[in-house]
A and B are shown apart, each in its own frame.
Chain A
């Protein structure tokens, strides 16, 4: 059987034996570490006295109008809820949460609880109009009106708790703290990085910062890549150096370089110094290119092959490196001095016989741009040839990086970038 938090708050707390009035519930405490948090107690207040903690173990039954309690509760202030508990009113009710199913930020109007044999569990949050009217005390009237006039039934708009990411609360020092959730409850993992970026941009600065700081480096980096530069800079400047360095390290080199180029020099240097040596060298080189040149928008995360590789060797190498590379549909073949000499498509690689040499398979007529060329030239090549990626070489045809279609999307189709 289900009941709403609002209904629970309307009940009186009474002693089971003498029926003495002990107060009214003002908050509900639950175990935050469960997928559907079990209620472990109430905060109860009588009159203007400070609220006291009433553990679930003392409750004998939840009746229609009353909550019956065994024995006399301890003196107010004697017992406290366990550290890290979830407070329904303080943390969730009336607050913003992320609905990770709908990928948006919403406000909670009510909480939906399930009564089981062993107690109460928090199962849904209510974000709809009926929750609002229930809180205002108008629900019966509105329901009767809607039903009588329009034959319309007002429905609850519930979101399962497993899709709910709470946004924390203010701690003592006025700093926002994110509620620690269990390992099994990671609603944000359901979001695509692009959705996560959008949700983050809907939050105010403090919540954004707090939530972003709680993400793993990989997830944070993926989300960061999808944001506009200004938000990126805000987030990175607002977080500790160590954490910022790890996040930037996880970003694609071109995105990392773009971001570092916008930061204050001092901060950018600290981050670069903290990064892994090879990675930091690549990013530093990217930073030397002008922003609107091919070199300025390319990434160094590409897979380089040698003319002497067989198809078998190449596929084995791909299995190792595909995760880090930005594009594996075009594979670039270099000679001993890193000159770009050919290109192999993934399709031709798969249909070729395993012992075939890349030198025989590759197409030697490679369309490329040089690092100094304007990025518009790259955009034109994308539009003309419908490539997904384009190699970038220096003036001696030494391969430097690749540009993928998303790097020039803004130039090809500016209307997409509202």
Chain B
């Protein structure tokens, strides 16, 4: 090779900078997914309902809470993905090895019940979204259930992940809807950075519900499992962290626009709503048919998305904890426990929507209470694990990370217990 004339120094510097960036971007693209998907599924039917209610009933006064919520979300999800990258094991796996079979078993039992309730809520979301487009639930729900089941049983992890990442794009519907109602932006942004509280019980319950819908037990298991399945290496970890941050930001932005839309329309007109479907329908006279359709479409996408991931995550977690064969990349006969549980949850959850006289509200209520009860255990387990130097080596939590983590977890536990108590009263 003949020696090429060396480039001038600034050009060389620029080139190596670009090369380093480019390489970084490539690595980022190879690890992106788990954080973004988990965070977006978090905006499921339940989440959208909560955000709509918060906007419709409290206007802009709850917007500020999104900032600390996003912060807590990043903190918790970062811990779980670090656990996954460093140990190469799922959360259920680690809990089983560290806390024994008894703890794991009862935890899994609770998780199945709360996740089942969540799945029911999301199939209900599919039903109500399609009813806005005047499609009967007796057609919509079975088709949705079959689609969701087929996707995972017939697909591989890679194709499933691509479809899920694609689904994240449709959350843009809410941003479009938010922009279309044309709020007064400067005053909105002021609301975001101005914490306030009218310490009424109703306000506090709403605030707690917002936190509760954003940080849920299943997310920790799902995110860690998908990080492990993706085989993210420790050298790539800092890119994985951006995946988590980006995901949490997306959730917050979508939540922001849902709340803004409802605040600008329903709150101004003083309309009370019960759920996300009401919100979409109530938008018709105020913001026009298309905004309502955008809302309904967003709800459909979110519900379908969560309805596929929740049963999947449940089956995955339980099999991992109990030591059964697991994995999207296996055939049915190779992992009967995994696919059996997965199929059963979908079948029962979709069935619950279609059978008249099922106590849907009670199921979802029970699931919410259990959610609040299970979350403290999981957060504490995570803190213990992430502090275990034998397990984590140099990647164990430092003093500051622990201070932030413990404060955040303590607050979350308080809030979730408050939610449990307030829903029981």
| Interface residues, chain A, with chain B CB atoms under 8 Å away | 94-96, 104, 106-109, 127, 132, 135-137, 170-175, 202, 204-207, 234, 418
Tell whether, in the assembled complex, residue B101 and residue A206 are in contact, meaning their CB atoms are under 8 Å apart: no
Interface check B65, CB cutoff 8 A: no
Complex-state Cα separation, A234 to B88, whole angstroms:
14
Tell whether, in the assembled complex, residue A94 and residue B97 are in contact, meaning their CB atoms are under 8 Å apart: yes
Interface check B202, CB cutoff 8 A: no
Tell whether, in the assembled complex, residue B390 and residue A94 are in contact, meaning their CB atoms are under 8 Å apart: no
* Residue among B97, B101, B228 making CB contact with A204, cutoff 8 Å: B228
Complex-state Cα separation, A132 to B106, whole angstroms:
12
Interface check B5, CB cutoff 8 A: no
In residues 49-101 of chain B, which contact A (Cβ within 8 Å)?
86-89, 93, 96-97, 100-101
Tell whether, in the assembled complex, residue B391 and residue A174 are in contact, meaning their CB atoms are under 8 Å apart: yes
* Contact status of A109 and B389, CB under 8 A, knowing A94-B97, A135-B102: no
Tell whether, in the assembled complex, residue A175 and residue B393 are in contact, meaning their CB atoms are under 8 Å apart: yes
* Residue among A171, A202, A234 making CB contact with B231, cutoff 8 Å: A234
Query: Can you list 14 A-B pairs with a CB-CB distance of less than 8 A?
Result: A95-B97, A132-B101, A132-B322, A136-B105, A137-B102, A172-B389, A172-B390, A173-B394, A174-B86, A174-B392, A174-B395, A204-B228, A205-B233, A206-B89
Interface check B323, CB cutoff 8 A: yes
Interface check B131, CB cutoff 8 A: no
* Contact status of A136 and B102, CB under 8 A, knowing A107-B96, A174-B391: yes
Interface check B274, CB cutoff 8 A: no
Tell whether, in the assembled complex, residue A109 and residue B323 are in contact, meaning their CB atoms are under 8 Å apart: yes
* Contact status of A170 and B101, CB under 8 A, knowing A94-B96, A234-B231: no
Tell whether, in the assembled complex, residue A174 and residue B102 are in contact, meaning their CB atoms are under 8 Å apart: no
How many of B's residues come within 8 Å of A, CB to CB? 26
A-B Cβ contacts below 8 A, count: 59
Residues of A within 8 A of B86 (CB): 174
Tell whether, in the assembled complex, residue B393 and residue A174 are in contact, meaning their CB atoms are under 8 Å apart: yes
Tell whether, in the assembled complex, residue B323 and residue A106 are in contact, meaning their CB atoms are under 8 Å apart: yes
* Residue among A109, A137, A202, A206 making CB contact with B88, cutoff 8 Å: A206
- In chain B, what residue has the closest Cβ to A137? B102
Q: Determine how close the nearest CB of chain A comes to the CB of B390; give it in whole angstroms.
A: 5
Closest 10 CB pairs of A and B: A174-B393, A107-B323, A206-B88, A204-B88, A135-B101, A205-B88, A205-B231, A173-B393, A94-B96, A94-B97
Q: Determine how close the nearest CB of chain B comes to the CB of A172; give it in whole angstroms.
A: 7
Complex-state Cα separation, A84 to B87, whole angstroms:
22
- In chain A, what residue has the closest Cβ to B395? A174
Complex-state Cα separation, A106 to B325, whole angstroms:
8
Complex-state Cα separation, A104 to B88, whole angstroms:
19
Tell whether, in the assembled complex, residue B101 and residue A96 are in contact, meaning their CB atoms are under 8 Å apart: no
Question: Per-residue CB proximity of B356-394 to A under 8 Å, as 1/0?
Answer: 000000000000000000000000000000000111111
Chain B CB within 10 A, most for which of A104, A135, A170, A171: A170
Tell whether, in the assembled complex, residue B390 and residue A170 are in contact, meaning their CB atoms are under 8 Å apart: yes
Residues of B within 8 A of A96 (CB): 93, 323
Residues of A within 8 A of B391 (CB): 170, 174
Complex-state Cα separation, A43 to B389, whole angstroms:
22
Complex-state Cα separation, A112 to B351, whole angstroms:
43
Residues of A within 8 A of B88 (CB): 204-207
Complex-state Cα separation, A234 to B392, whole angstroms:
21
Complex-state Cα separation, A162 to B93, whole angstroms:
25
* Residue among B89, B100, B322, B389 making CB contact with A174, cutoff 8 Å: B389
In residues 209-241 of chain B, which contact A (Cβ within 8 Å)?
228, 231, 233
- In chain B, what residue has the closest Cβ to A173? B393
Complex-state Cα separation, A170 to B389, whole angstroms:
10
Complex-state Cα separation, A202 to B93, whole angstroms:
14
Tell whether, in the assembled complex, residue B390 and residue A174 are in contact, meaning their CB atoms are under 8 Å apart: yes
* Residue among A127, A171, A206 making CB contact with B323, cutoff 8 Å: A127
Residues of B within 8 A of A104 (CB): 325
- In chain B, what residue has the closest Cβ to A203? B88
Q: Determine how close the nearest CB of chain B comes to the CB of A157; give it in whole angstroms.
A: 11
Residues of A within 8 A of B89 (CB): 204, 206
Tell whether, in the assembled complex, residue B101 and residue A94 are in contact, meaning their CB atoms are under 8 Å apart: yes
Complex-state Cα separation, A259 to B88, whole angstroms:
24
Residues of B within 8 A of A174 (CB): 86, 389-395
Given contacts A132-B322, A136-B105, 13 further A-B pairs with CB under 8 A are A94-B96, A107-B322, A135-B102, A136-B101, A137-B102, A170-B390, A172-B390, A173-B394, A174-B390, A174-B392, A174-B394, A206-B87, A234-B231
Q: Determine how close the nearest CB of chain A comes to the CB of B381; give it in whole angstroms.
A: 14
Q: Determine how close the nearest CB of chain A comes to the CB of B36; give it in whole angstroms.
A: 21
Q: Determine how close the nearest CB of chain A comes to the CB of B126; give it in whole angstroms.
A: 31
Q: Determine how close the nearest CB of chain A comes to the CB of B187; give it in whole angstroms.
A: 50
Complex-state Cα separation, A127 to B101, whole angstroms:
12
In residues 317-334 of chain B, which contact A (Cβ within 8 Å)?
322-323, 325, 327, 331
- In chain A, what residue has the closest Cβ to B106? A136
Complex-state Cα separation, A308 to B325, whole angstroms:
58
- In chain A, what residue has the closest Cβ to B85? A205
Complex-state Cα separation, A282 to B11, whole angstroms:
41
Residues of B within 8 A of A94 (CB): 96-97, 100-101
Q: Determine how close the nearest CB of chain A comes to the CB of B233; give it in whole angstroms.
A: 8
Residues of A within 8 A of B394 (CB): 173-174
Q: Determine how close the nearest CB of chain A comes to the CB of B19; give it in whole angstroms.
A: 14
Residues of B within 8 A of A127 (CB): 323
Complex-state Cα separation, A175 to B393, whole angstroms:
8
Complex-state Cα separation, A136 to B321, whole angstroms:
14
Complex-state Cα separation, A49 to B11, whole angstroms:
65
Residues of B within 8 A of A204 (CB): 87-89, 228
Q: Determine how close the nearest CB of chain B comes to the CB of A147; give it in whole angstroms.
A: 22
Complex-state Cα separation, A94 to B97, whole angstroms:
6
Residues of A within 8 A of B331 (CB): 418
Complex-state Cα separation, A202 to B324, whole angstroms:
12
Q: Determine how close the nearest CB of chain A comes to the CB of B232; give it in whole angstroms.
A: 9
Chain B CB within 10 A, most for which of A94, A132, A171, A418: A94
- In chain A, what residue has the closest Cβ to B104? A94
